[in-house]
């Protein structure tokens, strides 16, 4: 068969609901789309450990310190699982790490922002992990089988992270006025990045990830599920949302929402977020200082001082 005929047959398999294995033939466009998407997911997991890691020494109790440490460890583990899956698509783990720490590849927008209080840690654990679960549950229907198998484990662990964040949120919202205000302040600062989390509204017919079945739902569809799940819970807690236009339209059965400032989103994803360079610099320093360990495992001899 010609390349075009093999590609058409491959697309028909996806449209019929078949899963693609790493050993299967695949078109270059599919391979590159899957690699880029999974690599960014891996980058986001390992960079996502940093905002919460900063709060491990400042956790209010030993119990909170231990639970946050366990969560951060999980996130780094997720990254390693995903980098392994991406390797089978043709890019080495060393190259992926190098591209990340040198700013050649991207990680999720929410991990470019600073954390100012314990309220931020609670919000990340509940609302941002909640947004991630909305997205990740949709990936269980992905056409690339190795990714699906990894997502089953990751979603199970992220569900525990969500409960952890919810527990911290309830503790703050049922606490003193200062604790409630701490969480409200976090919501006020993080609402825009959370709206950016799902990406801008786009035309599903032109989304290459939807075309190949790597993603299964559009950005707006995912954002609508997040609204339906979490906005009523916020309101039940007496927490307001900093969007005067946010409301549920019973006629269209959709949430209406205001402009979250997409110019800021594009600046952040281009690597100009408030904490982008600081966190990349930290990751780069760790990458460089632990190079000896990679050499040992790869069998590269090192000079003895």
Contact 186, 117 (CB under 8 A): yes
48's CB contacts (< 8 A; 6+ apart) are: 75, 107, 108, 110, 111
pLDDT score at 298: 74
Confidence of residue 204 (pLDDT cuts 50, 70, 90): confident
Confidence of residue 188 (pLDDT cuts 50, 70, 90): very high
Q: In the predicted model, what is the mean pLDDT of residues 188-201?
A: 96
From CA 266, how far away is CA 273, in angstroms rounded? 9
Which of 8-12, 205-209, 299-303 shows the lowest per-residue confidence on average (mean pLDDT)? 299-303
pLDDT score at 57: 96
Question: 3-state DSSP call for residue 304?
Answer: coil
Long-range contacts formed by 160-164: CB under 8 A, 24+ apart: 161/71, 161/74, 161/125, 161/129, 162/125, 162/126, 162/129, 162/130, 162/133, 164/67, 164/71, 164/125
pLDDT score at 304: 53
pLDDT score at 159: 95
pLDDT for 55 beyond 80 = yes
From CA 185, how far away is CA 176, in angstroms rounded? 14
pLDDT for 122 beyond 60 = yes
Q: In the predicted model, what is the mean pLDDT of residues 213-229?
A: 96
pLDDT score at 305: 53
What percentage of residues in the chain have a pLDDT greater than 90?
Answer: 90
Confidence of residue 25 (pLDDT cuts 50, 70, 90): very high
Domains annotated on the chain, with CATH: 7-298 (1.20.1260.10)
The pair of structure tokens assigned to 17 is 């609901």
Q: In the predicted model, what is the mean pLDDT of residues 153-174?
A: 96
Q: Which residue has the tokens 């100009």?
A: 272
pLDDT score at 296: 79
Q: In the predicted model, what is the mean pLDDT of residues 212-224?
A: 96
């Amino acid at each position: 068969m010609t390349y075009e005929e093999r590609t058409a047959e491959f697309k028909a398999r996806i449209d019929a609901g078949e899963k693609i294995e790493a050993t299967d033939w695949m078109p270059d466009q599919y391979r590159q789309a899957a690699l880029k998407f999974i690599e960014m997911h891996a980058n986001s997991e390992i960079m996502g450990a940093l905002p919460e890691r900063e709060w491990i020494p400042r956790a209010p109790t030993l119990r909170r310190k231990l639970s946050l440490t366990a969560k951060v460890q999980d996130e780094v583990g997720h990254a390693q699982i995903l980098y392994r899956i991406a390797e089978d698509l043709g890019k080495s783990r060393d190259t992926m790490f190098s591209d990340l720490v040198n700013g050649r590849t991207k990680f999720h927008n929410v991990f470019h922002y600073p954390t100012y209080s314990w309220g931020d840690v609670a919000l990340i654990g509940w609302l941002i992990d909640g947004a991630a679960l909305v997205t990740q549950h949709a990936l269980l229907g992905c056409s690339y089988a190795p990714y699906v198998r990894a997502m089953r484990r990751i979603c199970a662990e992220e569900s525990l992270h969500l409960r952890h964040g919810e527990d911290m949120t309830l503790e703050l919202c049922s606490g003193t006025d200062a604790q409630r205000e701490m969480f409200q302040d976090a919501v006020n600062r993080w609402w825009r990045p959370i709206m950016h989390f799902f990406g801008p509204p786009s035309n599903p017919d032109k989304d290459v990830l939807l075309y190949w079945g790597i993603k299964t739902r559009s950005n707006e569809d995912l954002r609508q599920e997040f609204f339906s799940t979490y906005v009523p819970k916020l309101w039940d807690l007496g927490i307001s949302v900093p969007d005067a236009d946010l409301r549920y339209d019973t006629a269209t059965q959709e949430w209406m929402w205001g402009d979250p400032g997409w110019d800021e989103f594009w600046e952040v994803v281009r690597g100009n977020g408030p904490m982008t360079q600081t966190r990349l610099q930290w990751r780069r320093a760790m990458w460089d200082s632990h190079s000896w360990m990679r050499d040992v495992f790869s069998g590269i001899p090192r000079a003895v001082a």
